[in-house]
């Protein structure tokens, strides 16, 4: 049993589906099924239960999955130790990132990082912040970059805060706003809660969204065309903030701005790996030197 079998089994569990795992591993489905049967025969126990909804682990499969994750991590640690002996920082860095951070920050950040550390192999998975944290908690990724109130990891660093902003085609009073259609981004429940709270505190009458979107980009396009106003976190404004669109931070009753935080999460084991430790240190220093927010609030 070697690294290939460990990675095969971990990938199947991560994908939860034989077909998807086969595609990711560049294998045919029969070839992957053969590998899995061979593993079960070697261990003398069933590892997976196949259902109409995908696959689930047997108790023996759960033990083997934990073993595979541990062996892959130890193999990565070995490779990095050998790399250090040659004077090069190298290894594999598995990152889980929120969709919006991946849209507006991650490409430039990784572009600069890989130029400085070209021997670190980077793998990225994106999703909503709740999904990213599930990836992290299951061991699918070594570090997680999530937004909102997600502090489940033993080690979490706040990278920056950004304001939530009212966005419209031109300056507008609250009285006028109440009579205009609103466009709400409701994919993330925490955003919906903040928007609903702000509307109740600031608009004279109860207000329901005229349009609901699952994409900040779509919200932005609708606002740009004058179809309504919206409240979006600063990163989600994209080019809106540079195109003469009215953008203003929103505030709580006590005068504090409504803000959204971005966090970097990792665990103690991952931090001991040189590639991951290097990335953690790099990202912290990067956001000390480069604020993504140019708006005063």
Run of H or E including 122: strand 120-127
Burial bucket for residue 132 (CB in 10 Å: 0-12, 13-18, 19+): buried
Lowest mean pLDDT among 111-115, 183-187, 193-197: 183-187
Identify the pLDDT of residue 84.
65
The backbone torsions φ and ψ at residue 252, rounded to the nearest 5 degrees and listed phi first, read: -80, 175
Residues 6+ apart with CB under 8 A from 210: 181, 182, 183, 228
| 133-188 pLDDT per residue, tens | 888 887 888 899 998 865 555 689 999 999 999 999 888 888 888 888 988 887 66
DSSP for 54-86 reads EEEE-HHHHHHHHHHHHHHHHHHHHHHHHHHHT
Question: What whole-number distance in Å separates Cα of residue 194 and Cα of residue 189?
Answer: 9
Sorting pLDDT into bands at 50, 70 and 90, what band is 7? confident
Identify the pLDDT of residue 143.
93
Residues 6+ apart with CB under 8 A from 167: 220, 223, 229, 230, 231, 232, 237, 240, 245, 246, 247
Torsion of CA 93, 98, 99, 104, to 10 degrees: -80
The backbone region for 44, taken as left when phi is positive above 0, alpha when psi lies in -120 to 50, beta otherwise, is left
For the segment 8-16, the average pLDDT, to the nearest whole number, is 88
| 45-68 pLDDT per residue, tens | 899 988 877 788 999 999 999 998
Is 111's pLDDT higher than 90? yes
| 241-289 pLDDT per residue, tens | 667 788 999 999 899 999 999 999 988 777 778 888 899 999 999 999 9
Identify the pLDDT of residue 27.
85
Question: What is the set of domains in the chain, with CATH numbers?
Answer: 3-72 (1.10.10.10), 74-160+261-289 (3.40.190.10), 162-259 (3.40.190.290)
Identify the pLDDT of residue 151.
55
Q: Are 76 and 3 in contact (CB under 8 A)?
A: no
Identify the pLDDT of residue 186.
73
* CA–CA–CA angle 219, 223, 225 (5° rounding): 120
Identify the pLDDT of residue 75.
83
Sorting pLDDT into bands at 50, 70 and 90, what band is 96? very high
Each as own residue / partner, the long-range contacts of residues 73-76 (CB below 8 Å, 24 or more positions apart, any chain) are: 73/269, 73/273, 75/3, 75/6, 76/273
Q: Are 59 and 49 in contact (CB under 8 A)?
A: no
| Number of neighbouring beta carbons within 10 Å of residue 236 | 25
* Residue 242, token pair as written in the block: 């540079």
Nearest residue to 283 (alpha-carbon basis) of 94, 100, 95, 109:
109
Residue whose structure tokens are 């999530």: 146
Nearest residue to 250 (alpha-carbon basis) of 217, 297, 209, 203:
297
Identify the pLDDT of residue 124.
94
Share of the chain above pLDDT 70, in %: 92
| 27-41 pLDDT per residue, tens | 888 888 888 998 898
Burial bucket for residue 45 (CB in 10 Å: 0-12, 13-18, 19+): middle
Lowest mean pLDDT among 12-16, 59-63, 186-190, 236-240: 186-190
* CA–CA–CA angle 81, 82, 86 (5° rounding): 115
Q: Are 211 and 222 in contact (CB under 8 A)?
A: yes
Identify the pLDDT of residue 55.
86
Report pTM. 0.71
- If one compares 134 and 89, the residue with the highest pLDDT of the two is 134
| Beta-carbon-side half-sphere exposure of residue 143 (alpha carbons within 13 Å) | 24
Average pLDDT value over all residues in the chain: 86
Residue 117's alpha-carbon distances to 6, 111, 128, in angstroms, are 27, 10, 28
Identify the pLDDT of residue 148.
82
């Amino acid at each position: 049993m070697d690294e290939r079998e460990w990675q095969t089994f971990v990938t199947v569990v991560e994908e939860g589906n034989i077909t998807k795992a086969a595609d990711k591993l560049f294998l045919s489905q029969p070839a992957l099924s053969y590998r899995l049967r061979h593993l079960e025969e070697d261990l003398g126990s069933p590892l997976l239960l196949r259902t109409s909804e995908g696959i689930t682990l047997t108790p023996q499969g759960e033990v083997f999955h934990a073993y595979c994750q541990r062996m892959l991590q130890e193999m990565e640690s070995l490779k990095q130790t050998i790399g250090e002996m040659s004077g090069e920082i190298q290894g594999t860095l598995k990152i889980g990132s929120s969709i919006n951070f991946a849209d507006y920050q991650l490409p430039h950040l990784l572009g600069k990082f890989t130029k400085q550390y070209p021997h670190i192999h980077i793998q990225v998975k994106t999703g909503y912040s709740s999904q990213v944290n599930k990836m992290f908690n299951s061991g699918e990724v070594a570090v997680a970059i999530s937004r909102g109130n997600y502090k489940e990891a033993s080690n979490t660093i706040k990278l920056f805060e950004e304001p939530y902003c009212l966005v419209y085609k031109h300056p507008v009073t609250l009285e006028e706003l109440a009579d205009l259609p609103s466009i709400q981004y409701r994919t993330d429940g925490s955003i919906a809660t903040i928007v609903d709270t702000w509307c109740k505190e600031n608009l004279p009458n109860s207000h329901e969204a005229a349009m609901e979107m699952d994409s900040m980009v779509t919200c932005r396009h609708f606002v740009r065309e004058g179809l309504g106003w919206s409240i979006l976190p600063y990163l989600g404004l994209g080019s809106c903030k540079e195109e003469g669109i009215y953008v203003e931070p929103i505030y709580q009753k006590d005068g504090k701005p409504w803000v959204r935080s971005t966090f970097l999460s990792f665990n103690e084991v991952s931090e001991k790996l040189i590639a991951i430790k290097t990335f953690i240190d790099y990202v912290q220093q990067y956001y000390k030197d480069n604020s993504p927010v140019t708006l005063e609030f």
